[in-house]
Structure 1
């Protein structure tokens, strides 16, 4: 029995040895290493390494739904508006021997109706008196930002370096510089949070506040605005520290007046004019009130460059208009009947406060006030009977306040109330419900209220 057991064990050992030797002769293939996504903590939360590279990437975005109701100016106009917006952000950063190489991209798709279509930033209430048209729905796609930062250089579509308070708080848009445009900028840093920037900016590509044309009709005289020889030149000095931020900025822009024609006679040949603007702002952190609280204060003045005050090429919704005829157009330059060029001037102030009542409940309050002195007189047909023929020189007050609840991270549910007040130096013709001018009735001042609900998810 012992002999049989020994033979069986020996046979098994021999078979195992032979099998092992044959297996050693077979070719082997190791599994390829798996590229796992690694977290990149160098640039904040949400970044990860693109597999196989040393570039950190963050993909984010936003979905917003809004609903507004309020004042309307005729039966042909909706008393409400709705808006849906989707946003995609892509942020890629790579550490190099010269500093961080950053590429940022933001794209938006928006569908709006009612008062959102044709108003300043979708502000219901900033609608010129006499606007009685139902503007319907609009669909818009927008390359909001697309820039490269490499060391001190910023190139591409970015926020203007003139801007400071760029409608950071509330749901509404105020009279303040806020434009994303094509630019090329150089920023020098000096330590302790101080920096200075010089930027060449193409205002013709901007969002928000754009270049204003050379308008101004005086006794039938009309003028045209020629092309620029160079983009706007912007310079700013900024400081960012624990207490907050402050910035002083200035801009220089060229205005080329081609000609003035009065009665078929050219009274002004091509001439170069230059507009300019200055702005100062401060952001003060208020942790003594609550974590995250802060206050913005800002003031600006412009001469021949009203876009830097937040006034676009036209007034409010685009015009004080009836039946599509402009009654008040905002322009940078006017020409008198004698052929003399006069620039429009103006100033604005902005204040905005954010306060957290609890970590999930906050309020925002903001206001802007602006006054313009136009360098031209409107055509006589816009004035109500008996009104003096003079520049309309608008004054405008905008006030908004809201309450926002954030039940979970990245989700905001809020309501806001908006009030606007517009005053003109002279009465302009009003409109009936069909949009036709009412010959015996004029508007010199106007008040409007609006309410808005917003539900927004950021990720």
Structure 2
């Protein structure tokens, strides 16, 4: 910037997407998305190191499957068991807004828990990928080693894949009142970045509170929650320049948001015929006040290969299992938790004819299995009167993306 010691870079992205898949209920069998992103990055050299300020602002218009979640890009819906007409909707989002000064990061930034955070941006698998409000300190030790401690606001991630807090249910599945938390989630990570790639071990601890009105009084519960994750990124230049492999595993106890789940539902391709199954981090016993955490784990693998300098493929997959601490409403037969198991796979082919332009096609597949059968959603978007029971579902979708980064 003339007259100052600050360097300013203005960039952004324009993305157009088109998705097709199976139609459920009143939803469309296709969807469209248009997204504009503006990045502003200002850096100033100081006696204490680089002072950086970064802002990323997005405007997105979605229609069809992108709104109702049935294509795997926005999970779940608003009413369990119902598909709704997905009209066009425009949303705005302050995706990133942070200051970095020496070891300090303050503002809205990528969670320091995350490792593989949808780095291959065409793919949509189950992984922790959240931007939220935080205050972090990073110590560097040389040779690429660093350690970070971060205070992260677990509910401020809404709009970027959901907040970390999935709320509180009752042992019978009813939603209760989420109480205020005593302290932010505390995240710590150890990381190494070298020529061969990167590796990270991260963990998070927090607490979740819930309350329910009982008679003339109230029952309250308070439970400790935690999550841990390890990942490795391996550069594979012996195959082709730019080839990369990610491997990652995570476990959560009362903190399902750290596995990449949101409170809006389960199933990568959203509603489908199984319907929207709400998820809670923990469940409150409205008689004793005790709480039982939901637990789960996830495994992630992703591989990028350049066939030529302008043609690449990205293949990724995730597998996760949850053990819920409550019985889901609307179950039939034995009353027990759903304990979903989910597998997602995605593969694409992307052509970059000129720098900054991607034109690609992608196929996504999801398999969801439940421990307990549910009544299927029929093609009218409501529970079937024939009471057809299902406990597993396969869904496939495809999309075309044209994207320009500048």
- Mark yes or no: TM-score above 0.5: yes
**CA deviations over 1:233-260 (Å, ceiling 9, x no partner):** 0000000000000000000111122246
Task: Give SS of 1:437's match.
Answer: coil
Q: Structure 1 residue 432 and structure 2 residue 394: aligned?
A: no
Residue 335 of structure 1 corresponds to: 284
**Corresponding residue to 1:443 among 382, 390, 393:** 390
- Mean Cα deviation higher: 327-336 or 293-302: 327-336
Q: What CA distance in whole angstroms lies between the structure 1 residues aligned with 2:90 and 2:15?
A: 15
Conservation of the 8 A alpha-carbon contact between 1:361 and 1:405? yes
Report the counterpart of residue 295 of structure 1 in structure 2. 245
Distance (Å, rounded) in 2 between the aligned partners of 1:124 and 1:57 = 33
- For residues 155 and 73 of structure 1, what CA distance do their matches in structure 2 show? 43
1:6-57 residue CA offsets vs partner (Å, 9 max, x unmatched): xxxxxxxxxxxxxxxxxxxxxxxxxxxxxxxxxxxxxxxxxxxx00011111
SS of the residue aligned with 1:270?
strand
TM-score by structure 1 length?
0.82
- The runs of at least 4 aligned residues of structure 1 exceeding 6 Å deviation read 317-322
Equivalent residue in structure 2 for 1:412, among 358, 368, 390: 358
Question: Larger deviation: 428-437 or 87-96?
Answer: 428-437
- CA shift, 1:170, in A, is 4.6
Distance 1:126 1:106, change over 3 A: closer
Residue of structure 2 aligned with 1:145, choices 74, 77, 96:
96
Q: Distance in 2 between matches of 1:287 and 1:321?
A: 41
**2 CA distance for matches of 1:91 and 1:321?**
39
> Which residue of the partner structure matches residue 147 of structure 2?
196
Structure 2 residues not aligned, in runs of 5+ = none
* Secondary structure in 2 matching 1:215: strand
Q: In 1, distance between residues paired with 2:175 and 2:401? A: 44
> What displacement does 1:265 show?
7.4
CA distance in 1, matches of 2:321, 2:267: 17
Question: Greater RCO between the two (CA within 8 Å, min separation 6)?
Answer: 2
Larger Cα-atom Rg: 1
Structure with higher helix content: 1
* Distance in 2 between residues matched to 1:404 and 1:227, nearest whole Å: 45
Contact (CA 8 Å) 2:81, 2:276: kept in 1 or not? Answer: no
TM-score of the pair, normalised by structure 2: 0.92
Which of 379, 397, 405 is the matching residue for 2:343?
397
**Which deviations, in whole Å up to 9, do the C-alpha atoms of 1:114-150 show, x marking residues without a partner?**
1111328x62696689553222211110100010000
Residue pair 1:294, 1:355 contacting (<8 A) in 2 also: yes
The Cα offsets for residues 176-232 of structure 1, whole Å up to 9 and x where unpaired, read as 1110011000000000000000000002111213111101342x8764321011111
Corresponding position of 1:16: none
Unmatched 5+ stretches in structure 1? 1-49
2-side partners of 1:132 and 1:152: how far apart?
47
Are 2:184 and 1:231 aligned?
A: yes
Aligned length: 399
Structure 1 window deviating more from structure 2 (228-237 vs 202-211): it is: 202-211
Residue 405 of structure 1 contacts residue 413 of structure 1 at CA under 8 Å; is this kept in 2? yes
The 5-angstrom pairing of residues 161-200 of structure 1 reads 161-200=112-151
Structure 1 residues 231 and 118: CA distance shift in structure 2, 3 A: farther
Give runs of aligned pairs for residues 235-274 of structure 1, distance below 5 A: 235-259=188-212, 261=214, 264=215, 269-274=219-224
What is the aligned counterpart of 2:166 among 187, 212, 218? 212
Q: Distance in 2 between matches of 1:431 and 1:205?
A: 33
1:421 and 1:92, CA in 2 relative to 1: closer, same or farther beyond 3 A? same
Matches of 1:447 and 1:328, distance apart in 2: 16
1:281 matches 2:209? no
Instruction: Using the TM superposition, name which of 84-93 and 163-172 deviates more.
Output: 163-172
Does 2:325 match 1:369?
no
